[in-house]
Amino acid sequence: KKKKQEIRNYSNLQKLKNMNWEKYELLIKKIFEAKGYKVSRIGGHGSDGGIDLIIRKHGKKSMIQCKRYQNNVGVKTVREMYAVGIHHKFSKVYIYTSASFTKDAYEFAKGKNLILVNSEQTVQQMKALT
């Protein structure tokens, strides 16, 4: 219940865009916990190898990269995260951003185990949980 309240507190676009990277990462963690995932936080200060969170559910392990950006996330970042996911044999690679993604990034992700989640979709997910 407490997690849902914390999620509800940030379930609008402006609040999402105004939070710092650390709060943003913790918010994404709470979203997945509220969905019943076991979540391990890898990210933080320093090099995380592109993995901020590792999520587990139903025997599958996936990774999440959180990008608290003002500008859209480009294809270069999406390609890098895809490679990290393959290297670590993750079922899926989620990239969450407080902005959006470039057209090239969306094109690259098509048909792959990449889930790109922009700020509006994040707010929709939060509202669905509360």
Q: Judge whether residue 5 has pLDDT over 90.
A: no
Beta bridge partners of 67: 97
- Determine the pLDDT at residue 87: 93
Q: What is the pTM of this model?
A: 0.90
Closest CA to 130 of 22, 44, 40, 1: 1
Model confidence at 46, pLDDT cuts 50, 70, 90, reads: low
Cα 26 to the center of its chain, rounded Å:
10
Distances 94 to 1, 5, 50, 103, 122 between C-alpha atoms, Å: 25, 24, 11, 17, 12
Model confidence at 35, pLDDT cuts 50, 70, 90, reads: very high
More confident residue, 122 or 2: 122
The contacts of residue 32 (CB under 8 Å, 6+ apart) are 39, 53, 55, 64
Mean pLDDT of 86-115: 97
